[in-house]
Homo-oligomer: A and B are copies of this chain.
């Protein structure tokens, strides 16, 4: 039985804790795969800075990386998202309700970035 628990949740949270990295993750959640260059566009920070942010996300296990010609394509690692979800839901007594209620909350939530 393989171990899915290889990533440390605090590291994942720390990775998501930076606003730039959070935005990068949100981009990747919308588009299934993106090159580092495209991912970094529009942030007003240099390519090296983006590269290092992506490295942090990669080390935390949040994204995967693969080479396509000279580009590096990044994608969300579903395992990590699942682990975050699992952690949150494992304490759902504190959510004062069921997952169904969470669904409702999600439904009437407004989007910030469309």
Contact = CB atoms under 8 A, between A and B. Distances in A.
B86 A105 contact: yes
Nearest to A96: B78
Nearest to A22: B10
Interface in A79-110: 81-82, 84-86, 88-92, 94-96, 99, 102-103, 105-106, 109-110
Given A13-B16, A15-B17, A86-B102, A81 B109 contact: no
Given A78-B94, A84-B84, A9 B29 contact: no
Interface of A: 5, 9-11, 13-19, 22, 29, 76, 78, 81-82, 84-86, 88-92, 94-96, 99, 102-103, 105-106, 109-110
